[in-house]
Amino acid sequence: MYKNMMKCDGNNYLNVNFSEIFGYSCEVVISPWSKGISWSTKHENITNRHLWHEEPGIPLGVLLHDKAACRWVSEIPETGH
C-alpha cells in the first residue's frame, strides 16, 4: 500500500516517512544502536528531538518486520536469553 516509507541512510539512521499517509511533510528518524537509540520528528521545517524512552508512535514489531529496516535492526545485539 505505502511503499518506501522506511529507509536506512548511509549512517544507518532509520527514516520513516509518513508524508504520503498524512498528506503533509512528516518524518520520524531513529538513530542506530551504535549511536544510542534516540529519535526525532520532522514536520515541514521543524525538528523535535525526543529521549529514547519517549514513545515514537511506531510499534517495534513494524520495525522488526520491514525489510527496509533490516540493516537498522541488525545493529541491535542479541541478549543471549
Closest Cα partner for 28 from 12, 11, 49, 10? 49
Q: What is the pLDDT averaged over residues 58-77? A: 79
Q: How much is the pLDDT for 18?
A: 85
Per residue in 41-69, is it b (16+ CB within 10 Å) or e — as a string? bbeeeeeeeeeeeeebebeeeebeebebb
**pLDDT tens profile 14-35:** 898 888 888 888 888 888 888 8
Residue 13 above 80 pLDDT? yes
